[in-house]
Amino acid sequence: MRSVAEQLRRVLAAAVAPSPIRVAISEAQGLQCAEDVISGRSFPGFDQAAVDGYAVRGVDVALPEPMDDDPHPDPLFLPVVGDIEAGNKQPARLQPHQAVLLQTGAPLPSLADAVLPIAFTDGGIERIRVDLGVRSGDFVRKAGDDLKAGDVVVRSGTIIGPAQVGLLAAVGRDRVLVHPKPRVSVLSVGAELIDVDRTPGSGQVYDVNSYALAAAARDAGAEAHRVGIVPHDERQIKDIVEGQLGRAEVVIISGPVGGDVGRNVNQALSELGQWEVSRVAMSPGSVQGFGALGEEGVPTFFIPSNPVSALVVFEVIIRPLIRSALGRLSPRRRVLKAVATETLTSVIGRTSYIRGKLMRDDETGEYLVEPLGGVLASNPHLLSQLGEANCLINISEDASGVREGDPVDVIFLGQRG
């Protein structure tokens, strides 16, 4: 039986990253930058006002210090000789002992070296009284303060977020080279399956997995394509999967890994490349098929038909592959230490993943985890309990369980809503 760590190493070694593409910066958020973006210009491109105020020379508004024999010196007044709005293209010049009204972002007139905020004055239109002085450079965004021509704006390998999108826009880049989302195709196999727009007959059930796994792939950052239900005929399985290998970096098939249907799937996939069905030391979802199929060696998974098992296998094995293909340096979920609120049992020799609800004690700040569904053997198939879970309790393969009050590793699945 293969360990979870060994299975994950095999899977990550087979990752197929899509080739970089150029996309509009509005579409680049969340993707990894695939180039060093060099600024072709300075930002800001000119000296501009950082606040609404008046363009002045610092030497003209340096207020004298009050003297002991004259605690109230004469007020300082300056004439306002014009105004400049943001976006003004006409050059302007300031004369000594004058002020020009400015909007935030407006270019400074020549000779001006400071901006006197309106709040430092009486707010006059034709003449202002200076209540507080400023020095040269105050309240001015200097040309190149943020970026200079030749600076690296966004480095290759950076995950593009709102700030990076803003930087790209600031230097006039409308497109950027990125590593795109890996494409994931999701299929379900099973004679009992019908789609959700039909009424199930005797022995029939809705196809849950193709919807749930496609949603999980999108949540991981992939571009998911739900193929849906495929026939359990060996030839048709091979043809459909082979068609997906040319359009995806990951293929996920859920279905009965054993029995006639499982044999048909495994035989069909073994004709498309390196393929193996093995037992992984984890519960649920021990029996898994995995291989690198087609000319490009596309990672392909055959995972159990039970929805909870399928989603747990996705979280533990498949999601890290998708995150790795996206360029994430830490592709696995965050693991926390929490105190178990109940005693849990596990099977020695298998790593257990138990649905749980992670909480935090308001007084101590300590993490607590409540298992959903009781002990491991109690209803591990219930999808409704997974829907309530925000974590998976991780009991290592060399432990037989966890006692109430003991610390335990918890895989945090993230907040919802």
Coil, strand or helix at 262: helix
Q: What is the predicted pLDDT for the residue at 384?
A: 64
Distance CA 114, CA 140 (A): 6
Dihedrals phi, psi of 78, to nearest 5 degrees: -130, 140
pLDDT greater than 90 at residue 156: yes
Q: Which residues have C-beta within 8 Å of that of residue 283, sequence separation ≥ 6? A: 346, 347, 350, 351, 352, 353, 376, 380
- Does the structure show a pLDDT above 80 at 64? no
Rounded Cα–Cα distance for residues 212 and 308 (Å): 10
Percent of the chain topping pLDDT 70: 93
Q: What is the mean pLDDT of the chain?
A: 90
Domain 48-141 falls in which CATH fold?
Answer: Molybdopterin biosynthesis moeA protein; domain 3 (2.170.190)
pLDDT digits (tens, 9 = 90+) for 284-335: 999 999 999 999 999 999 999 999 999 999 999 999 999 988 877 778 888 9
Q: Give percent of the chain with pLDDT exceeding 90.
A: 71
Find residue 356's DSSP bridge partners: 371, 391
Provide the pLDDT for residue 145.
83
Q: Encode pLDDT of 132-142 as tens digits.
A: 999 999 999 99
Please give the helix or strand (H or E) that residue 7 lies within, else none: helix 4-13
In the prediction, which pLDDT does 143 show?
87
pLDDT tens sequence across 188-222: 998 899 999 998 899 889 999 999 999 999 999 99
Q: How far apart are CA 411 and CA 317, in angstroms?
A: 13
How far is CA 404 from each of CA 37, 92, 284, 368, rounded to the nearest angstrom?
Answer: 53, 76, 22, 11
Q: What is the mean pLDDT of residues 260-273?
A: 92
What is the distance between the alpha carbons of residues 65 and 59, in angstroms, rounded to a whole number? Answer: 14
Backbone angles phi, psi at 269, to 5 degrees: -75, -30
Q: Domain 4-15+181-326 maps to which CATH number in 3.30.1300.10, 3.40.50.620, 3.40.980.10, 3.30.300.30?
A: 3.40.980.10
| Higher pLDDT pick, 330 / 28 | 28
Whole-number Cα distances in Å, 57 to 52, 95, 96, 108, 130: 16, 9, 7, 11, 13
Tell me the DSSP string of 61-99.
Answer: G-PPPPBTTBSSPPPEEEEEEEEE-TT--S--BPPTT-E
At 382 the pLDDT is: 55
Amino acid sitting at position 116? L
* Whole-number pLDDT of residue 374: 47
pLDDT of residue 131 exceeding 80, the answer is yes
Residues 46, 329 contacting (CB under 8 angstroms): no
pLDDT at 163: 95
Query: What's the pLDDT at 200?
Result: 86
Which residues of 190-321 form beta strands (DSSP E)? Answer: 193-194, 205-206, 223-230, 250-254, 273-279, 282-283, 287-293, 298-303
Hey, how many other C-beta atoms are within 10 angstroms of the C-beta on 360? 12
Q: Inform me whether the pLDDT recorded for 258 exceeds 90.
A: no
Q: Report the pLDDT value the prediction gives residue 134, as an integer from 0 to 100.
A: 93
Q: Provide the pLDDT confidence category of residue 102 given band limits of 50, 70 and 90.
A: very high
Tell me which CATH code domain 335-412 carries. 2.40.340.10
pLDDT digits (tens, 9 = 90+) for 69-98: 555 567 899 999 999 998 888 888 899 999
* 381 pLDDT higher than 60: no
CATH 3.90.105.10 fits domain 21-40+147-179: yes
How many CA atoms within 13 Å lie on the side-chain side of 229?
A: 16
Q: How far apart are CA 181 and CA 301, in angstroms?
A: 19
Please report the pLDDT score of residue 235 as a whole number. 94
pLDDT confidence tier of residue 148, bands split at 50, 70 and 90: confident
pLDDT band at 378 (very low <50, low <70, confident <90, very high): very low
Q: How far is CA 331 from the centre of its chain?
A: 11
Q: What is the pLDDT of residues 392-412, one digit of tens each?
A: 999 999 998 899 999 999 999
Domain boundaries, the chain: 4-15+181-326, 21-40+147-179, 48-141, 335-412
Q: In angstroms, rounded to a whole number, what is the distance separating the alpha carbons of residues 307 and 18?
A: 28
Distance, C-alpha 204 to centroid of its chain? 38
